[in-house]
Amino acid sequence: MGGKFAAVLKLTRIEHSLMLAIAVVAAELIAGGLPVPYKFLLALVPPILISMASFAVNDYYDIETDMLNKKRRPLVEGTLSMDDARNIAIVLFVVGIAASILVNLYAFAIALVFAALAWLYSYRLKEMLLIGNIYIAFTMVIPFIYGDFVVSRTIPANIVLVSFVIFLSGLAREVHGMIRDAKGDIKARHAKNLVYRIGIMRSAVIALVLYAEAIAISLFMFFLFLPFAYNIVYLVPVAVSDCALLYVAIGHLYRREASFYSLSRGVSLGAMGLALIAYLAAALVYVGI
């Protein structure tokens, strides 16, 4: 039983959901402060469950690609069945959307739209040139928009800037993912994505430019926008994150070995997680919590 539970957590990429929860809380603090305790906890349920469901349905449709790319995932290893993945996704989507109704209408609308898009992405959008990648990058942004609308009815400039940083970094990471999975994507799904169209080197250059833009905005925020302005609690972890992303981006220009791809995936995820912690810490210091 414990082994199957661990497989479910692996299937649904629980670590990503925890990052989304941090993003929601950071957005709430930046936008106006935390809601009352019961609403605070309730508001975390939809993004966590819908994110978990999204990964489950993605693996359901990506089984052939993952097998070709020799990924160590529950469906490939046989620890969970295709039916398991489909049923887990359905339950998590339904419960996540239902919980969002109790938050507010904005939360419900966001949860419903992104649950539908998550299924559509795995089924079809992924195969469309850049559309699927843009969608994935936007899913990294939406927790900030969602968290903002839990406590507010407008989107302030600091949330907009954070959203741009996350979106650009997320899109760059997606490009690196296409480079990493090029063999399986092209052979199993016959994907005609960015790497197929322009090649690995040019795709790596585009990712580098996207990361550089995100880094520039993150530094710009330190000088002009609260709660980040001249906040050392924000600057230090963001600087470390920016350096890590730059290392990954430059490495993709000339390194092609599987060991680097595996390392870069973990480094980029860790760097983006560190940036989320920086946003949260800066907001906590600013509001005096």
Q: Where are the domains of the chain?
A: 1-128, 156-289
Cβ contact 66:130 at 8 Å:
no
Residue 255 phi, psi dihedral angles, 5° rounding: -105, 135
- What does the pLDDT profile of the chain (289 residues) look like in tens digits? 557 888 888 889 888 888 889 899 999 998 878 888 899 999 999 999 999 999 999 988 888 777 776 777 888 888 888 999 899 999 999 999 999 999 999 999 999 999 999 988 888 777 676 788 888 899 889 999 999 999 988 888 999 999 999 999 999 999 998 888 766 665 555 566 777 778 888 999 999 999 999 999 999 999 988 889 899 999 999 999 999 999 999 999 988 787 888 899 899 989 998 999 999 999 888 765 5
Which uninterrupted H or E stretch holds 123?
helix 105-123
Distance CA 126, CA 193 (A): 9
Pairs from 91-96 (Cβ < 8 Å, separation ≥ 24): 91/53, 92/12, 92/49, 92/50, 92/52, 92/53, 92/56, 93/49, 93/50, 93/53, 93/118, 93/119, 95/45, 95/49, 96/45, 96/46, 96/47, 96/48, 96/49, 96/50, 96/53
pLDDT of residue 78: 83
Instruction: Please tell me what DSSP assigns to residue 125.
Output: G
Using CA atoms, how far residue 37 sits from 34, 40, 89, 145, 172, in Å, is 8, 5, 28, 20, 36
Residue with tokens 């692996």: 10
Q: Which CATH number fits domain 156-289: 1.20.120, 3.30.450, 1.10.10, 1.25.40?
A: 1.20.120
Closest CA to 106 of 146, 156, 63, 55: 146
Q: pTM value? A: 0.84
Cβ contact 30:227 at 8 Å:
yes
> How many CB atoms lie under 10 A from the CB of residue 188?
17
Architecture in CATH of 1-128: Orthogonal Bundle (1.10)
